[in-house]
Amino acid sequence: MPALLQPLRFAWTATRGHHFRPWRSPLLRWRIETYSGIPADDVTLTVFLRFCWRERRELLRFLAWSAQMRAHRNRSRHPGLSAQAGP
């Protein structure tokens, strides 16, 4: 999957049931609360956008890491496709 689509894929998966209002997603609210200390009940659109902007570098780093983990998982499921697999 192209790198530009990774953030969209993660956002779609993480906001199940709240695709068009991600700040209402219980998973994202919980993640924001545990990462930043902002109470989950206080996460509104403004707080969500402010958090995303302030933590954009860390969020992009997380997305890159999750893409690596997904690729690693997929390689381990299909050993013949792995770079380490022999002839």
Q: What is the pLDDT of residues 5-20, one digit of tens each?
A: 777 788 888 888 998 9
Q: pLDDT tens, 31-72?
A: 999 999 999 999 999 999 999 999 999 998 988 888 888 888
For residue 18, what are the CA distances in angstroms to 29, 57, 63?
A: 11, 24, 19
* Buried b / exposed e along 36-71 (16+ C-beta atoms within 10 A): eebeeeebeeebbeebeeeeeeebeeebeeebeeee
Q: Determine the Cα–Cα distance for residues 75 and 11; give it in Å rounded to an integer.
A: 23
Which pTM was predicted?
0.72
Q: Return contacts of 8-15, CB within 8 angstroms, 24+ apart.
A: 10/63, 10/66
